DNA sequence: TGTACATCAGTGAACGCGCGTTCACTGATGTAC
DNA sequence: TGTACATCAGTGAACGCGCGTTCACTGATGTAC
């Protein structure tokens, strides 16, 4: 079926960008290359996204939505123990980043900052899942402001997973892993790291 | 003094790249623009760096050297208490990143990975300062392999400062800071975060 | 049910741009004797 | 101390390239009557 109209070009372009970025990194992105991959003229994307930045913004937004899902899945995996929920959220965060390194870089890159409202919202949504996890651990009701200790814990957790993910993506953990594949190294070292950070900053579950 | 020969074009080009990247971010880099800023023909850089990548590699290498110095300065500031040394190393790491956000991004960007030996070395040197701090805290002699707990602590520390720095650079901490300037937020929240992570993963100093 | 027409989603050629790199060159420097 | 010459560090014009965006256009879709 090769009709004049594509059907769902919008999604196809997002998908093509995704794939390009996954294969060759954010820096390899170009509107023309994406159009080529989608089998469409270089002017076509403008109808859906305005300009190149618009497309990237849409991809980043989708990325944050994926990240949010990953965090929620981690949460569920953790069961009822607040600390376990945080642990699995953290693992989910890093796993998402390692599964989509190009997109992850894009999501936190400059040049997209503050431009788009939808992007901001999706970014905040991811953050709020983390915050909710910390609220649970500190027994702070929704709506109530976070106390200092809770803020610190939230910031520590977010930083540690974000940093771990970035270092792994940048290839900086490979030397630490030695001859082991990176995934194996992550599987053992990340939970250990998170355990320490969580124990150090989050109160234990009440019996 | 406008002679035909520049005198120290190599340094001048590195400086110009530094400035450009600081003002407009890594993405704004171009060989021609840097040559323009150095007041030199676009072909001149090739004599010193081969190609554009060569120049960026040199800048990144200098960046890691600066980071290493910042970590050592932090170390010194911490005095004899191993935990304090680590705390100030961490603060030094983040402060360096915030003072040179463009360069920091460049240092950990893809596209430079593994290419250059000098770059690798300077990167490792920075890492080794952190490692040395952890060795001291765990009383592991140089040359001895790190035990698991020490590895975990090292990785936790590195991740947390790297993540905090990246989030701050990406503007993701601004919402947390509210109306406060970011620097003020960092000054209070970063030590608190590091305190928690260090307490959670590094043994206390022996009396 | 059929037809006119507005709207939408794509085409493809063309634009101007800034880029990295090449090339033959030239001016300055330093070294051998 | 002077001179010839090799070497080095820069010039500036030119190359070809891929890019994002524009523009007038056209084919398909859907809606009003």
Q: What is the pLDDT of residues B128-181, one digit of tens each?
A: 999 999 999 999 999 999 999 999 999 999 999 999 999 999 999 998 998 999
Q: For residue B1, is pLDDT > 70?
A: no
Lowest mean pLDDT among A158-167, B6-15, B55-64: B6-15
pLDDT of residue B2: 54
Q: Is A98 on the interface with B (CB under 8 A)?
A: no
User: What value does the CA radius of gyration of chain B take, rounded to a whole number of Å?
Assistant: 19
Joined tokens for residue B109? 């960007």
Long-range contacts of residues A4-9, Cβ cutoff 8 Å, at least 24 apart: A6/A38, A6/A40, A6/A44, A9/A38, A9/A40, A9/A44, A9/A47, A9/A48
Confidence of residue A1 (pLDDT cuts 50, 70, 90): very low
Confidence of residue A137 (pLDDT cuts 50, 70, 90): very high
Which residue's alpha carbon is at the shortest distance from the C1' of C11?
A: A41
Check A170 against B123: CB less than 8 A apart.
no
pLDDT of residue A7: 77
Q: CA-to-C1' distance for A179 and C27, Å? A: 54
Neighbours of A110 (CB within 10 A): 16
Please name the member of B127, B156, B166 whose beta carbon is closest to the beta carbon of A162: B166
Distance CA A48, CA A35 (A): 12
Q: Is the CB of A16 under 7 A from strand D?
A: no
Which protein residues have any CB–strand C distance under 7 A?
A 4-7, 9, 39-44, 47-48; B 3-5, 29-33, 42-43, 46, 51-53
Q: For residue B30, is pLDDT > 80?
A: yes
C-alpha neighbours within 13 Å on the C-beta side of residue B121: 5
Confidence of residue B207 (pLDDT cuts 50, 70, 90): low
Distance CA A13, CA B146 (A): 48
Confidence of residue B205 (pLDDT cuts 50, 70, 90): confident
Task: Kindly report, residue by residue over A24-54, the tens digit of the pLDDT.
Answer: 999 999 999 999 999 999 999 999 999 999 9
Q: CA-to-C1' distance for A47 and D27, Å? A: 16
Chains A and B form CB pairs within 8 A to the count of: 127
Mean pLDDT across the stretch B78-93?
A: 97
CB-based burial label for B191 (10 Å; 0-12, 13-18, 19+): middle
pLDDT of residue A111: 82
pLDDT of residue B4: 66
């Amino acid at each position: 079926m090769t009709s004049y109209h594509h059907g769902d070009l919008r999604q196809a372009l997002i998908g093509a960008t995704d794939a390009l970025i996954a294969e060759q990194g954010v820096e390899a992105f170009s509107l023309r290359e994406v159009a080529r991959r989608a089998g469409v003229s270089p002017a076509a994307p403008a109808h859906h996204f305005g300009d190149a930045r618009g497309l990237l913004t849409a991809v980043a937004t989708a990325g944050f939505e994926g990240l949010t899902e990953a965090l929620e899945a981690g949460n569920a995996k953790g069961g009822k123990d607040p600390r376990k929920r945080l642990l699995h959220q953290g693992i989910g965060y890093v796993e998402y980043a390692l599964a989509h390194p190009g997109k992850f870089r894009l999501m936190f890159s400059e040049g997209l900052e503050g431009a788009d409202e939808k992007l901001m919202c999706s970014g905040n949504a991811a953050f709020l899942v983390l915050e909710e996890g910390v609220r649970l651990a500190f027994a702070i009701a929704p709506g109530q402001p976070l106390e200092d200790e809770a803020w610190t814990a939230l910031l520590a957790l977010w930083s540690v997973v974000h940093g771990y993910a970035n270092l792994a993506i940048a290839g900086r953990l490979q030397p630490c892993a030695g001859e082991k594949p990176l995934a194996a190294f992550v599987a053992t070292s990340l939970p250990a790291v998170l355990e320490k950070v969580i124990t150090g900053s989050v109160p234990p579950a009440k019996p």
